Amino acid sequence: MKRTLIKDIQAGKQVKIAGFVENLRNKSAMQFIVLRDITGKIQITVEKAKLPEIAKIIDSVTVESVLTVTGTAVKNDYVKLGGLEIIPDTIEVDSVSEAVLPIDKESGLDLRLDYRWLDLRDPAKAQIFKVQTALERYLVDWLTDHGFIKIHTPKITAISSEGGSEVFEIKNYFGTSAYLTQSPQLYKQMSMMAGFDRTFEIGECYRAESSFTSRHATEFTALDVEISHIDNHHDVMDIEEQLLTATFTKLHEQFGDLVAAPNVKFPRLTLQEVYRILREEKHYEMPKAALGDIDPDGERLIGEYAKEKYGSDFVFITDYPHAARAFYTMGDRSFDLIYKGVEITSGAQREHHYEQLKQNIIDKGIDPKHMQEYLEFFRYGAPTHGGFAIGLARLIARMLDLPTVKESCFIFRGPTRLKP
């Protein structure tokens, strides 16, 4: 008999189910097991006098043991789990769990991350990754439907994509030095020089940042998008807004109120407008060290403002000063996207003129010799282009109101976490 998923069980049918023991009540005359698989839960009911051999097997079972059960699904209105229970014909113990589990619902986050595979048995945690699966599917569907080509860029490179020091160095790459890429930025720009016109990638990025915030990780998955033949950074924002609106609408259709679909256009505010709003309406003065950018408290407050003023969870902040952005940015044609008070996107129109790009690199204090391979991309014809990147763990954490990206990463990597 083939396995039946718990969600597909029908009254009166013979079934074969398999899963983890979530709850076990062993009474004098009856035994009750709640069995859980990825699709749901079902009660297994054993009358000891009628099924003594099966009752003996259940006597050896512990919570979180794995069972395969064959039997008949019958209606029972007293059973809370869908009014169904299984009367078993056979029970096979696939694996017995140790009786004392190392974590429970009261355990702290760090301990739960040590035993992440146990932590993820919680159906609410599994739901996060069901949403992630659907999110990536709908992103890819929209992009491919709108003429984007999917690429896979190398994660080992000879040059730093951001030109900074926050890179992981591979000190002996066959006799030379190499780096783990901070982003596919340089290679997705190369795809524009190749004439691909519109490209995207969902892949891993690595940042050697010693940050211990709720939004940072040293390894994360990002959606990167790049488009050619644009007039300015607003063309890039248009694409991102269309993409996210369509994707969130699909997610809302699938998951209901778990994911709210945008129903208004994303407001766009320049950085100077944001400073004025924070000062005059939120009575918040940006710290001097953060001027030219926006700090986390400012992001939270401008997120509140966008919700109050426009009814939007999203708000674009535009026109950052060039000095505050990466060398490949064209002037002040850049933006961030704030979602529920947290930055989830950085984007811009890119500088496509060879000499200006070279000067930008020098102005950032980077030796252009170290970026010569990248500069070569722009010597043989370069279209206007721009793009953006979205950290998926950060996006999902905000979407589902999770306190930290540690909860939205399947396995989190940070400065002090390399296991499991």
Per-residue confidence band for 119, with pLDDT thresholds at 50, 70 and 90: very high
Dihedral pair phi/psi, residue 315, rounded to 5° = -150, 130
Per-residue confidence band for 156, with pLDDT thresholds at 50, 70 and 90: very high
Per-residue pLDDT of 241-292, as tens digits, reads 999 999 999 999 999 999 999 999 999 999 999 999 999 999 999 888 778 8
- pLDDT-above-90 percentage for the chain: 90
Question: Helices 233-255 and 123-145 sit at what angle, rounded to 10 degrees?
Answer: 130
In angstroms, rounded to a whole number, what is the distance separating the alpha carbons of residues 373 and 179?
15
Does 313 or 214 have the greater pLDDT score? 313
Per-residue confidence band for 163, with pLDDT thresholds at 50, 70 and 90: low
Per-residue confidence band for 161, with pLDDT thresholds at 50, 70 and 90: low
Q: 114-408 adopts what CATH topology?
A: BirA Bifunctional Protein; domain 2 (3.30.930)
What pLDDT score does 209 carry?
85
In angstroms, rounded to a whole number, what is the distance separating the alpha carbons of residues 176 and 295?
38
Q: Is 147 exposed, middle or buried (0-12, 13-18, 19+ CB in 10 A)?
A: exposed
The pLDDT of residue 101 is above 80? yes
Residue type present at position 297: D
The mean of the pLDDT values for the chain is 95
For the chain, domain boundaries: 6-95, 114-408
Strands, E, within 193-295: which ranges? 198-206, 219-228, 268-270
As a whole number, mean pLDDT of residues 21-44 equals 96
Per-residue confidence band for 385, with pLDDT thresholds at 50, 70 and 90: very high
In angstroms, rounded to a whole number, what is the distance separating the alpha carbons of residues 131 and 134?
5
Which of 222, 312, 309 has its CA nearest to residue 260? 312
What pLDDT score does 174 carry?
94
Q: Which residues of 278-298 are buried (b: 16+ CB within 10 A; e: fewer)?
A: beeebebebeeeeeebbeeeb
> Could you tell me how far CA 66 lies from the centroid of its own chain?
29
As a whole number, mean pLDDT of residues 359-371 equals 92
Per-residue confidence band for 240, with pLDDT thresholds at 50, 70 and 90: very high
Q: Which residues neighbour 59 within 8 Å (Cβ) at sequence distance 6 or greater?
A: 26
Per-residue pLDDT of 390-416, as tens digits, reads 999 999 999 999 999 999 999 999 999
Dihedral of alpha carbons 162, 165, 168, 169, sign: positive
Q: What is the pTM of this model?
A: 0.93
What pLDDT score does 334 carry?
98
Domain 6-95 CATH (choose: 2.40.50.140, 3.40.640.10, 3.40.50.300, 3.60.15.10): 2.40.50.140
Which of 116, 351, 332, 118 has its CA nearest to residue 230? 351
Per-residue pLDDT of 55-99, as tens digits, reads 999 999 999 999 999 999 999 998 988 899 999 999 999 999 999
The pLDDT of residue 164 is above 70? no
Per-residue pLDDT of 169-216, as tens digits, reads 998 899 998 999 999 999 999 999 999 999 999 999 999 988 888 888
- pLDDT-above-70 percentage for the chain: 99
Q: Do domains 6-95 and 114-408 have the same CATH topology?
A: no
In this structure, are residues 228 and 384 in contact, taking their beta carbons and an 8 Å threshold?
Answer: yes
Secondary structure (DSSP) of 127-161: HHHHHHHHHHHHHHHHHHHTTPEE----SEESS-S
What pLDDT score does 211 carry?
83
Per-residue confidence band for 220, with pLDDT thresholds at 50, 70 and 90: very high
Q: Is 164 exposed, middle or buried (0-12, 13-18, 19+ CB in 10 A)?
A: middle
